[in-house]
Chain A
Amino acid sequence: MSTELERQQRPVEVTEGELEALIGDRALARDDHLNAPGFVVRPDDVQAVLTDLKEQAGFDHLSCLTAQQYEDRYESIYHMKKYADPTQEVSIVVPTSIDDPVSQSAEPVFRTADWHEREAFDLVGIDYEGHPDPRRILLPETWQGHPLSLDYDQEKPQIVTLSEHANPIQPDHHDAESDTMFLNIGPHHPATHGVLHVKTVLDGETVVDIDPDIGYLHRCEEQMCQQGTYRHQIMPYPDRWDYVSAGLLNEWAYARAAEDLADIEVPEYAQIIRTMGAELCRIASHMLALGTFALDVYGDFTAVFQYAFRDREVVQDILEDLTGQRLMFNYFRLGGVAWDLPEPREEFIAKTRDFLDELPAKVDEYNDLITGNEIFQVRCTNTGVLEPETAKDYGCTGPVARGSGVDYDLRRDDPYGYYENLDWDVITKDGCDNYARVLCRMQEVEESAKIIEQCLDLLEDWPEDDRTVQANVPRTLKPDADAEIYRAVEGAKGELGIYIRSDGTDKPARFKIRSPCYHNLSALEEMCEGEYIPDLIASLGSLDIVLGEVDR
């Protein structure tokens, strides 16, 4: 109702004709995707085209880069959007030859292309000319071959050695001339939220330089999804990306992409259940983010951490009642959800309402304990500063972007599910610091509660003979050959996107995950250089990363 109004002035739609004129001769052909017009450009035109799109057409969000190999060529797809209106999309398709897969790097135009192109090189094997740091990112340095390329032998085991001639225990002064100290933070460290390894250069207690080393939790999720059938075998995987309780949000990302790909309508009733379940997950996820951030700043498993877990526990119980599982829900189905609300419905609804009724008092308690605490404020304000333009450059989304004043929320800007029919607000904060991000999450919890409340009202009064939880979906789904789609939803951490290319079989030919944590983590460097170690830890905590989603 109100959401459409709040997005003040969406920018004027750029028509396809204007895009064609802008790209001009550089467009070799069209390669339209289901979500966006696609233009094929030459490998050495990448920077020029992306710059024009960014500066003249306002496509300031490089949402994702998908790399893939065909029989006759490699292909990089730059999925571009606008922060001001993510429904305006364009795909830039860059084919490169099979013998010499070299493409121009987009890193000078979008910083976020740095990590994306490293991943494309790592997994698919495309070289990006002019890339400032062409190393592997997910796999070990000495890995042989590129696992998602067609000629890679999936069956052959590999023993990963350390790099040749590198002595891992040699004295590691970063620079013999200066007084800096090199410090490995992680992969086993109390505050890295999983197996993250941050190579840090310190000058005393000041952080001079950091280099996040990821991939310790890489589980070939993309490849596993490519080996599963659309209908049933892929849905369990999303639960394992952001595994700390955002399961339903992740499942929705796949559901949305696959449903749009196979043209499946979801019944309204199922959409309401999805919306409610997803927001419950968001609350659970934000509670965990709050608790672990407090752990990073307070320094111990203190009251705040335990309170956050206590309250998250209630959400988990509700989700367990709904889905039968506490973490790996596997509750969404293409075309709906697995089953209706648990019987007796009244009991479930009353339990959920009880939780919502108690929530405001709990949020007040958090405000007393955390955000109102002066030491906390001194610790968190003006630390880990992420300017809005930098956030956009790194492709940051979710509470990280909204804490930097970037008014971007796919639930409102690119509506799906039942969000556009409900009354709620997008929270943005202008602080750009750790404190703003925490406040943002805490207030989003309240907004989520509002959404759940309205969903419950709707579900309670829904006529009994109209409770369709699933559309009729064929047992075997075979989307049209060469259909390509990139779709994103607002996950707990930000924009969680899925790219699927169909080859006409019942399994995807390419399945690419755009993880919000991946982008948010890449901005860490900007946030903490020149600050102290405690701020590095706090900034890392305020990004709320889950390594399962970063590494996939």
Chain B
Amino acid sequence: MVEAITPIALQNDETILLPERIGDLTGLDQFGVGGELLAAFLAAFIVGNLMLAMTGVAGPWAKRKITAAFTDRIAVNRLGPAGLFIIVADSVRLLSKELVIPEQADRPAYDLAPIVVAASALLGFAVIPMGSGIHLADPEVGLAYVFAIAGIASIGLMMAGYASSNKYSLLGGLRAVAQNIAYEIPLVVTGLSVVIFAGSLQMSTIVEAQAATLVPLGPIDIPAWYALVNPFAFVLFLVANFAEVGRNPFDMPEAPTEIVAGYQTEYSSVYFVLIYLGEFLHIFLGGAIIATIFLGGPAGPGPAELGIVWFLIKIWAVFLLTQWLRSAVPRVRIDQMIEIGWKGLLVLSFANLLLTAAIVGLIT
């Protein structure tokens, strides 16, 4: 659990992080480093499970319901209220399937790939401030960390692609890499423009900076969320993010109907579940990053304790958007996507960065 042992010295002084709070509550902090480690582990366990539970709801149930709503259907409604118990049924179904491993698969890589994909997304949540005191670690380089760790997923996809010893998988893996390289740079550069505003890479500072008032509108103060301060960067980031997590209209790496299921063609049973979990976690992580650096993190009306609720609503809004696009937007072709990435988004994101730097420089 990397997030748990992040050096405490780097933390912002005012924030009390979840591991400390748990250490306090359970009395574990009296037992020195061992106790702190255990507290940190407990905290990571809670956050990890929260995210996995969300994925569990999203995959078998919410995705079906949302898509059904877009396409004039009803979807699951037999098991439990609104079909919610399908989650249980699907979990049992997926886990009880036979694990078929191709004979010529490159074994360690083939087995590791699903874990890399799922773990890289899960690790990203370590530095996300989710409100209500749920924040695992707050290093000064938080934003850089989250981009770096999310980027590891492409290694997993590439591994899955070549280790499956299937040509469709290989094509999918190659596409995933090409796509991630093309969109990682615009993503990070657009994220940098936020850093210029906030003056810090630290997540908690970025969130705090957005608490200021942009314009007072009668009794309501419109907060200085960076989505409102710089909507251009917000849109750029959103688009690059969809490409980064491989969602429509940029779902080339899987591209069912073209290359069957891309890198995940040969994965079944538990491995399939892991890859799927990883994908949803990546969507949620993308949503979490967007919420944190553009939508004020856990900020929202009501007492601060409601932070986590607002935060989850923001994540789910991004998820809803991905599903909407999935239902309504055609997929671009691989060469067109690369073109959009290198010739369009990259140029625009640098323009945005320069412009932001100039404006911030002028104001201060």
Whether the Cβ atoms of B259 and A533 lie closer than 8 Å is: yes
- Docked complex Cα distance between A302 and B167 (Å): 26
Contacts of A297 in B (CB 8 A): 330-331
Beta-carbon contact of A534 and B255 below 8 Å = yes
Q: Among A301, A310, A379, point to the contact of B333 (Cβ < 8 A).
A: A379
Contacting chain A: which of B38-46, B68-76, B210-218?
B68-76
Chain B neighbourhood of A299, CB < 8 A: 248, 251, 255-258, 330-331
Whether B330 and A373, one on each chain, are in contact in the complex, defined by CB atoms closer than 8 angstroms, is yes
The verdict on B332 contacting chain A, using a C-beta distance below 8 Å, is yes
CB <8 Å contact, B328 and A369 = yes
Closest to B71 in A: A306
CB distance from B325 to the nearest CB of A (A): 10
A190 near B71 with CB under 8 A, answer: no
B171 near A: Cβ within 8 Å? yes
**B326, A302: Cβ atoms under 8 Å?**
yes
Please tell me if the beta carbons of B332 and A378 are within 8 angstroms of each other in the complex.
yes
Instruction: Note all chain B residues with C-beta closer than 8 A to A537.
Output: 257-258
Let me know if A216 is at the binding interface, CB within 8 A.
Answer: no
Taking a contact as CB atoms under 8 Å apart, the answer to whether A300 and B258 are in contact is: no
Across the A-B interface, how many residue pairs have beta carbons closer than 8 Å? 82
Q: Mark B323-339, 1 if CB is under 8 A from A, else 0.
A: 00011111111111000
What chain B residues lie within 8 Å of A189 (beta carbons)?
260
Of listed A189, A305, A535, residue having the most chain B CB within 10 A:
A189
User: What 1/0 flags go to B88-123 for Cβ under 8 Å of A?
Assistant: 000000000000000000000000000000000000
* Binary interface encoding of chain B residues 28-39 relative to chain A, with 1 for a CB under 8 A from any of its CBs, else 0: 000000000000
Chain A nearest CB, measured from B12 CB (Å) = 43
Q: Nearest chain B CB to A453's CB is how many angstroms away?
A: 26
Interface of A, helix, strand, loop or mixed by DSSP: helix
Asked if A303 and B70 sit within 8 Å, CB to CB, the answer is: yes
Give chain B's interface secondary structure class. Answer: loop
Q: In the complex, what distance in Å separates the CA atom of A301 from the CA atom of B331? A: 12
**Chain B neighbourhood of A378, CB < 8 A:** 332-333, 336
**A258-B167 Cα distance, complex, nearest whole Å:** 49
Measured in the bound complex, the distance between the Cα atoms of B39 and A294 in whole Å is 52
Which of the residues B255, B330, B333 comes within 8 Å of A535, measured between beta carbons? B333
* Residue A295 lies at the interface, judged by CB distance under 8 Å to chain B: yes
Q: Which residues of the other chain, A, contact B332 by a CB distance below 8 angstroms?
A: 375, 378-379
Residues of B within 8 A of A191 (CB): 257-258
Q: Which residues of B contact A190 (CB under 8 A)?
A: 256-257, 260
A376 and B258 within 8 A (CB)? no
Q: Check if A532 sits within 8 Å of B256, measured CB to CB.
A: no
A191 to B331, CA, bound (A): 14
Chain A: residues with Cβ within 8 Å of the partner, total of 31
The interface residues of chain B lying within 8 Å CB-to-CB of A211 are none
**Is residue A387 within 8 Å, beta carbon to beta carbon, of the partner chain?**
no
**With an 8 A cutoff between CB atoms, is A366 at the interface?**
no
A127 partner residues in chain B, CB cutoff 8 A = none
Inter-subunit contact B249/A375 (CB<8 Å): yes
Q: Which of A205, A300, A301, A302 contacts B335 (CB 8 A)?
A: A205
Check A373–B171 contact: CB distance below 8 A: no
Query: In the assembled complex, how far is the CB of residue A297 from the closest CB belonging to chain B, in whole angstroms?
Result: 5
Which residues of A from 367 to 383 have beta carbons under 8 Å from B? 369, 373, 375-376, 378-379
A307 at the interface (CB under 8 A from B): yes
**A303 — which chain B residues lie within 8 A by C-beta?**
70-71, 327-328
- Whether the pair A534, B167 counts as a contact (CB closer than 8 A) is no
Q: Which of A306, A375, A533, A535 is B73 in contact with, Cβ under 8 Å?
A: A306
Q: A47-59 toward B: CB 8 Å interface, digit per residue (1/0)?
A: 0000000000000
**Are A307 and B171 CB-contacts (below 8 A) given A300-B326, A373-B330, A375-B249?**
no
Q: Which of B61-87 contact A (CB under 8 A)?
A: 70-73
Name B196-215 residues within 8 Å CB distance of A: none
Complex Cα distance, B73 from A306, in Å, reads 8
Contact digits for A340-373, partner B, Cβ 8 Å, 1 yes 0 no: 0000000000000000000000000000010001
Complex-state Cα separation, A303 to B327, whole angstroms? 5
B329 to chain A, nearest CB (A): 6
* Closest partner residue, chain B, to A383 (CB atom): B333
**A190-B260, A300-B256 known; A205 vs B334 contact (CB < 8 Å):** yes
A298–B329 CB distance below 8 A: yes
Instruction: Provide the residues of chain A in CB contact with B70, threshold 8 Å.
Output: 302-303
Could you tell me the distance in whole angstroms from the C-beta of B254 to the nearest C-beta in chain A?
8
Q: Which residues of chain B have C-beta atoms less than 8 A from A535's C-beta?
A: 333
Chain B, range 139-181, C-beta contacts under 8 Å to A? 167-168, 171
Residue of A nearest to B170 (CB): A181
Contact B333–A534 (Cβ < 8 Å): yes
Question: Which chain A positions have C-beta within 8 A of B260?
Answer: 189-190
Shortest B167–chain A CB gap in Å is: 5
A299 → chain B, closest Cβ, in Å?
A: 4
Taking CB atoms and an 8 Å cut-off, the chain A residues in 32-85 that contact chain B are none
Q: List 16 A-B contacts (CB under 8 A).
A: A190-B257, A294-B330, A298-B248, A298-B331, A299-B251, A299-B256, A302-B70, A369-B328, A375-B249, A376-B330, A378-B333, A532-B333, A532-B334, A532-B335, A533-B171, A537-B257
Which 10 residue pairs spanning A and B have beta carbons closest together?
A: A306-B71, A191-B257, A299-B331, A303-B327, A298-B330, A376-B330, A534-B333, A375-B330, A297-B330, A303-B71
Chain A residues within CB distance 8 Å of chain B:
181, 183, 189-191, 205, 294-303, 305-307, 310, 369, 373, 375-376, 378-379, 532-535, 537
